[in-house]
Structure 1
Amino acid sequence: MTAFASRLARHWLPPALRHALNRMAGQTFRYSGRFDTWQEACRAADGYDDKRIIERIHSAALAVREGRAAWEQDGESHPEIILNFPVLACLAKATRKDDTLRVLDIGGGFGSSWLQASQGMPDIKLHWTIVEQERVVSLARQDFNNQGVRYTHSLDEALATNEYDLALLSSVLQYIATPHAILDQLASSEIKWIVIDRHPCSNAGEVITIQHCPRRLYKATYPSWLFDCESLRSKLNLTHDLALSWQGQDQPIQGDGFHASFAGMCWKRRGEHT
């Protein structure tokens, strides 16, 4: 599809029809299968640590560093930084009175959310730590060590410092083998704020499926959770109050007998004052 045709379709076609055409053309993520365990899904997929995925995201991040793009997300380059206003609102709520903010970004890649925050909150002094896979951390320390972000591959090590105001989980829990254990760990920590964004909420309870990347990105598959978000809210509500929620901008998921839509949530530890 030419750039002109793409712009025309984006402005004039109904969203449902546009999404259906993109699916037919292999331009969107698709989902297949239902599995009883995460291990079964892993055996049927490439895996999120697939070398091709990391190479694609790394290449897009290098394009940003070298000025050939302004921002990247999920390995896709953009000519401008797309601000995520609900997440920025949460970051603003968590900012300290001295205009500093300490963020623990779990699954933050090469810093795309940090770049959004830096652009959207230029007067705030950000202290940003990203927890990622060892290969991503190694590449980040090699190529992005001077951009003001700290990288680690150990969540336990990061939490041991006890120095964060907010934990950010953007499009990450669905790709972790033990997402509930991660949430339990954060809920029992001393971090005041938990922000969950681009989070898939299923209409059929909790589902383990396989996500297929669109051809425009890379040919890869990996396991994915789709969550019972009411259960998640009930769990977090034991220790936190929901401060803000919003609908995600990612396209809804259609799978084998299920569908899911994306959501965002901002939680504040009960009893904490800003």
Structure 2
Amino acid sequence: MNPRGLLKDITPPLLMKAYHKWRGQSLRFGGTPQGWNEAARMSSGYSESAILDRVRTATRAVVAGEAAYERDSVLFDKADYPFALITALLRAAASADMRLDVIDFGGSLGSTYRQCRPLLDAVQHLQWHVVEQPHFVEAGRQEFETDELHFWNDISDVPEKTGRRIFLLSSTLQYVEKPHEILARATEVCASYLIIDRTPMADLEEDFLSIQMVPRRIYKASYPCWIFSEGRLSEHLEKDWTTIYSFLCTEGFHRTVNGLEFGFKGLVMERKP
């Protein structure tokens, strides 16, 4: 075991959290922008090409078997399965002769697909469609597309479903200007299930716009990030969807520099008849 892995195994969680904060590795949120345009001006932005290069390099390592998985271009040498998500995928497949069709909105170069795939052997037919920005789609098609994994520029480009369709939003919804419009697209693609994963939520009357600072170990950047009102989110979704279960994600709870406490949570929802 390498020294970093040993440190992680023997150090109490609270001390590890303090260590990561000291190293600049904790997620940080601040600012009170009055709208998306102001939030964009307050953010430093990032180099799209630099991020793609890092993600592509990390993805190559995972595909080559040199790492278990990657997240946000960071490599991990030990598998960490998102069981709440995998349970939902298997539940959906079981209701359709183990046939599954996933639209993974903002799915990078297939990070979630590769993290889940080892535990989806029971699925007889799997089609995983990543919808991403054009430069990610181009890279995905050039190097990482398979008979199961596909890349598209827009939701409307995804072919007709060939199994139980899931609309997946994993650590994506908070980074788009009009997230509630994206949620509406789930009904347009005839999805039977909607999964929201790794998404910041709080006990608020309205959605709160903040600035997320990326940990220095990943890349230097900051960008707008929504912290969603759980009540408003539920109100928006309850017309078309029934909540099967909710869960707390591994990112846990955080607090903005302004004192707002929130948690990264997930929802698994089924389309109402």
Report the Cα offset of residue 155 of structure 1: 1.8
Matched with 2:226 is: 225
2:33·2:39 contact (CA, 8 Å) conserved in 1? Answer: yes
- Contact between 1:198 and 1:250, CA under 8 Å: does it hold in 2? yes
> Whole-Å Cα distance in 1 between the matches of residues 56 and 116 of structure 2?
20
Q: How far is the alpha carbon of 1:14 from its aligned partner? A: 4.6
1:155 corresponds to 2:131: no
Amino acid at match of 2:116: A
Conserved 8 A contact 2:132-2:152: yes
Counterpart of 1:237, as a letter, is E
238-247 or 140-149, larger mean C-alpha shift: 140-149
In the alignment, does 2:262 pair up with 1:269? no
Contact between 1:48 and 1:175, CA under 8 Å: does it hold in 2?
Answer: no
Rounded Cα–Cα distance in structure 1 between residues aligned with 2:160 and 2:96: 21
- Which residue of the partner structure matches residue 104 of structure 1? 103
For 1:234, the equivalent position in structure 2 comes to 235
* Displacement of 1:248: 1.0
Partner of 1:172: 172
TM-align CA RMSD: 2.2
1:61 maps to what in 2? Answer: 59
Alignment of 1:180-195 (within 5 A): 180-195=180-195
Q: What's the offset of the Cα at 1:11?
A: 4.1
**Deviation at residue 99 of structure 1 after TM alignment:** 1.6
> Which residue number corresponds to residue 259 of structure 1?
261
Q: Is the 8 A contact 1:10 1:18 kept in 2?
A: no
TM-score in terms of structure 1 length = 0.89
Q: CA deviation at 1:13?
A: 2.7
Task: Say if 1:99 and 1:49 are closer, same or farther in 2 by CA, change over 3 A.
Answer: farther
Distance 1:135 1:9 in 2: 35
Q: 1:227 corresponds to which letter in structure 2?
A: F
Change (3 A) 1:122 1:9: closer
- Describe the SS at the equivalent of 1:58: helix
Query: SS state of the match for residue 101, structure 1?
Result: strand
Partner SS, residue 252 of structure 1? strand
Measure how far apart 1:174 and its partner are: 0.6
In structure 2, the CA distance between the partners of 1:49 and 1:130, relative to structure 1 (3 Å rule), is: farther
SS of the equivalent of 1:34 reads coil
CA separation in 1, counterparts of 2:190 and 2:19? 46
Q: Which amino acid aligns with 1:246?
A: F
Given candidates 37, 40, 61, the residue that maps to 1:39 is 37
CA distance in structure 2 between the aligned counterparts of 1:6 and 1:117, rounded to whole angstroms: 22
Q: Does 2:145 match 1:145?
A: yes
Code of the aligned partner of 1:138: E
Matches of 1:148 and 1:239, distance apart in 2: 29
Q: Deviations over 1:148-199 (max 9, x none)?
A: 31100112333x7355611111100011111110002213542110000101
Contact 1:35 1:207 (C-alpha < 8 Å) held by counterparts? no
Q: What is the DSSP-based 3-state SS (H/G/I as helix, E as strand, rest coil) of the residue aligned with 1:103?
A: strand
Structure 2 unaligned blocks of 5 or more: none
Q: Quick one: which amino acid aligns to residue 98 of structure 2?
A: D
Distance 1:58 1:33 in 2: 31
State the one-letter code of the partner of 1:92.
L
- Residues 47-96 of structure 1: per-residue CA shift (max 9 Å, x gap): 36633222221111111123322211111111133211100111011114
How many residue pairs align between the two structures? 268
Structure 1 residues 48, 100: closer, same or farther in 2, change over 3 A?
farther
1:29-58 C-alpha deviation (Å, 9 max, x unpaired)? 211211111111112224366332222211
2: CA distance, partners of 1:59 / 1:12: 30
Read off the aligned partner of 2:121 and give its amino acid letter.
Answer: P
- Deviations for 1:119-149, whole angstroms, at most 9, x for unmatched residues? 0111212111000011100111111123631
Query: Once the 2 structures are TM-superposed, how far is the Cα of residue 22 of structure 1 from its aligned partner?
Result: 1.9
C-alpha distance in 2, partners of 1:268/1:257? 34
DSSP-derived class of the 1:82 partner: coil
Q: What is the CA–CA distance in structure 1 between the aligned matches of 2:133 and 2:269, rounded to whole Å?
A: 26
Q: Distance in 2 between matches of 1:111 and 1:68?
A: 16
Using the TM superposition, name which of 133-142 and 77-86 deviates more. Answer: 77-86
Give the counterpart letter for 1:131 in structure 2. Answer: V
Given that 2:209 and 2:225 are in contact with CA atoms closer than 8 Å, whether structure 1 keeps it comes out as: yes
Contact 1:174–1:226 (8 Å) recurs in 2: yes
Amino acid at match of 2:165: D
